[in-house]
Structure formats: C-alpha cells, structure tokens
Structure 1
Amino acid sequence: MTDEQTQSNRAEITREKLLSAALDVFGRYGFDGTSTRQLSEAAGVNLQAIPYYFGSKEGLYVATAEYLVTRIERHVGGLRQRIGARLMELASAGEALSEEEARLFLTDMAMTMVSLFVSKESEPWARFIIREQMEPTEAFARVYRGLMGPMIGIVRQMIGAILGEDPASEHVRLRTLAFVGNIMVFRVAHAAVLAQMEWQSVGPEQLQTLRNLVAELVGLLEPTKGHRR
C-alpha cells in the first residue's frame, strides 16, 4: 500500500469516527447544545479534525444528515430499488400496479421499516431526525430529499394502487402519512410501547408480533366510500 493510500484510509477512518459520534451527540444535545470539543472527544480524534474535514461544526452537522441517509439506505435501498424497477417496468408497458402486488410490496416495506425502527441501531437516528422534525434545518432537507421523501412517495404509490385512487391526491397523501405514523410510533414512542405492552425489550418474539401487526395494517387498507376513482 502506498503512502497516499495509507493517508486516504486514515482520513476515511477519521471521517467515519466523527460522523458516527456526531450522529449520537447531535441527537442527544442538538446543534446549539453540542460543542466541537464534545464531538472530537466522542470521536476520539483531534479537535482540528472537524475544520479540516468538514470546514466547521455546521459543515459536520449537514454531513451527519447525509451520513444518516447512507446508513438507513443500507437497510432499505435494495427493496426500494426492486420496487422502483417494477414500477418502471409497468410504466414502460403502459400497465398499472395491481392491488395484490401493491399489498405484497407494502407489506414487505412495512415489515422492513418496523424491524429497523425497533432496532438498537436506530436509536441515534431517531433522536437526530426527531430534533429536525421540531426545528427543521438544512439537515432535514438533506434527509427528506435523500430518504424520507422517496420512501413516502413509494408507500404513497402502493396505497394509491390499493385504494384505487390517484397517489398524488390529498386523501392518499394523508392516508400514507397515517400509515407510516402507525409504524413510526414503535420508535418515537418506544418507552410507551414497552410500558403498555409490558415488555422488557423487543426481542425476536416481540419483533415477530410487530411484523404480524404491520401485515394486518396493510390488510385493513380499504377504499373509503366516495374516494375510489
């Protein structure tokens, strides 16, 4: 390995350390409540690494949002691509997605989402995103454009096909947000879920219960009288 490759590897490791630490620290304390010293100490790197690699704390914050997108994409990217490819195939043939296929895709997505939301790995992600929901910044714009918007858009197309309505309609948009909210509650209200269910944690058995539930939620999606096109 050349000196240049070694330096590049070290730089990538340092960046990864900072981004991983920043995701946790920013999520816990927010942008204003976090100091660059906190960030460098949490990452175990020199304080000057932040301006060197990211320009400023603000630069690191925005880069952290993009890093969050890539982390989540590792879990949902394959499914998203598979559904997107199928939709493009149907569009090129001038065909519409069937209700049956839409339910299968939506069930797959919902099960993937709930498995991710209740995982330990998603805790710092949720803290960061929830803060951005309350007071959106450029970081939220990056997360929404890179992940949330496209994912919600795909769910919207599935729900539109199931309801027999235009996916761009206000009604389908609202039904989609309500559906996604039914799944997100298992992360954003995690403590309340454990207390209500009298669970100590979400292990394999509890996770399967939740996966069965989201499949049930998909099955309950039915057209509302007066809205079917």
Structure 2
Amino acid sequence: MAGTTQPRVSTTDHLLTIAIDRFGRAGLEGASTRDIAGAAGKPLSAITYHFGGKEGLYLAAAEHIANQLGGWLAPALARSHEICAEDGDPQAARAALHGILGAAIVIMTREETEAFARFIVREQADPTEAFTILYDGVMGPASDRVCALVHCAAGKRITQAEARLRTLMLIGQILMFRVCRATVLRGMGWDAIGPAEQSEIRRIAGDNLDAILDRLATGEPA
C-alpha cells in the first residue's frame, strides 16, 4: 500500500521557516545565513539566489509572517467593511468582534506562531524596515478593521481615537497568551494551551468584550 504523499515545500518557504526561527532567536545581526542554509539543507548560494542576501531574507521573512497572519485572520475580518457602513448594525459589529477575538486566540496559541512572535517582539523593541512590512501587511489593516467594529458596536458614542485605544487594549489581552506564554502557563498551572484552554480563554475574552461594549453602548464610562 502506497504511503501518504506529503505536500512539497518550496525552497523559499523552507528557507523562510528556518530564517524566521533563527532571526527571532538571534536577531538580524546574530543569525548566520550559513546556519540557516545548512538547517534547510540548501547551499548558501540559495539565499543569495532567492533573496539577494541576508537583509533581503530578513525582509522576506517579515513579509511571509504578514502574509500568513493576514491569511489566517482574513475569514474573520471579511465582513467588517459591510457591517461598518454608515448605518451599521451595532449587534452585527459585536458578533463580528467576538468572531475576530475567537479566531485571534486560536491563532496566537497555536504552535506555528511561536517563531513569528519572537521575530515580531524583536521588531517591536527595535523597529527596522521589517516592522513597516509587518505593520502595513497585517497589524495596521487588522487593527483598522477592529477599530471600525468597536466604533460601530459602541453605537458610535465614542470618538475614533478612543475606539482606536480600546482596540489596542483588546488586541493586547490576546497577545498576552503568545508573548507571555510562560507566565500564562506558570500562573494557570497549565502544561500547554490546548482546545480546552483555548475555549476558556475565548469565553472570558468574550465576557470582557461584552462588558466593555455594554457600557460603551449606554454612553457610560467603561
């Protein structure tokens, strides 16, 4: 009986996967292209051929992260423009926000984003051209969509600036479970964040969202 055929990974994707891990652990200066190529089972010339060199590989890694995260979030974000039309429905916006937060929790707690997080945290601490790629490619567009939904779900009773700040805080509570994973595991006494833990995080994040939106919808300070 023939074995299952595994999907073939392109040379560029394989190099990028290794590069994201190495750059996240050691930074642009600390990571070695020779080590990256060797770990990928490719000659050093493959990096020059496909990316033009180390800096090109670094920027391509940022673009790869942005594309992956954007693709994973796209289904949850898809209807935000329609919902946030001039006569947008606050309840539809609230439901969309629940969907986005739930999707983000799953994404941020999956193993694939561990290496992404290391890379992104380095860029947050010391931004380079790669941060612009990450922000313009996924962070900015996603936060814009969420901000519009928050404004709509609040019945447009708050300013755009307040909606933006509340959006960043909502996103921050989700990022906690990726960038502070060791603290979460130790504090909760968990060995890992699996489906049961994801479900509990989603439940409480949803409660927090509803509590905020309930207060905003009445015009009271939250």
Q: Paired residue for 1:76? A: 73
Q: Is the CA contact 1:65–1:143 (under 8 Å) kept in the aligned structure 2?
A: yes
- 1:161-187 CA-partner distances (Å, limit 9, x unpaired): 122337863222111111111111111
Q: Could you say which residue in structure 2 is the equivalent of 1:161?
A: 152
Q: Deviations over 1:10-66 (max 9, x none)?
A: 9x8211111111111111111010111111112111001111111110001001111
Matched, 1:64 2:55: no
CA distance in 1, matches of 2:134, 2:158: 22
Q: Unaligned stretches of 5+ in structure 1?
A: 1-9
Provide TM-score, normalisation by structure 1: 0.86
Question: Which SS does the other structure have where 1:20 is aligned?
Answer: helix
Structure-2 residue corresponding to 1:178? 169
Output aligned runs, 1:202-217, within 5 Å: 202-217=193-208
Q: 1:219 aligned to 2:216?
A: no
User: Quick one: which amino acid aligns to residue 39 of structure 1?
Assistant: I
Aligned in 2, Cα 1:200/1:162: closer, same or farther, shift over 3 Å?
same
Give the Cα separation in 1 of the matches to 2:142 and 2:120: 15
Match in the other structure for 2:192 = 201
Relative to the length of structure 2, the TM-score reads: 0.88
Aligned residues: 212
For 1:130 and 1:214, the matched residues in 2 are separated by: 23
1:129 aligns with 2:120: yes
- Structure 1 counterpart SS, 2:79: helix
Displacement of 1:81 in angstroms is 2.4
Alpha-carbon offset, residue 125 of structure 1: 0.7
The equivalent of 2:23 in structure 1 is 26
Point out 4+ residue stretches in structure 1 off by more than 4 angstroms: 224-228
Q: Determine which of 93, 98, 119 is the counterpart of 2:110.
A: 119
**Equivalent residue number for residue 54 of structure 1:** 51
Distance 1:102 1:13, change over 3 A: same
1:147 deviates by: 0.4
Equivalent position of 1:5 in the other structure: none
Question: Cα distance 1:166–1:219, how it changes in 2: closer, same or farther (>3 A)?
Answer: closer
Deviation at 1:96, TM superposition (A): 2.3
CA RMSD between the two structures? 2.1
What amino acid sits opposite 1:68 in the alignment?
I
CA contact (8 A) 1:157 1:167 kept: no
SS of the residue aligned with 2:112?
Answer: helix
Pick closer, same or farther for the CA change 1:129–1:166 going to 2, 3 Å.
farther
Question: Which secondary structure state, in structure 1, belongs to the residue aligned with residue 87 of structure 2?
Answer: coil
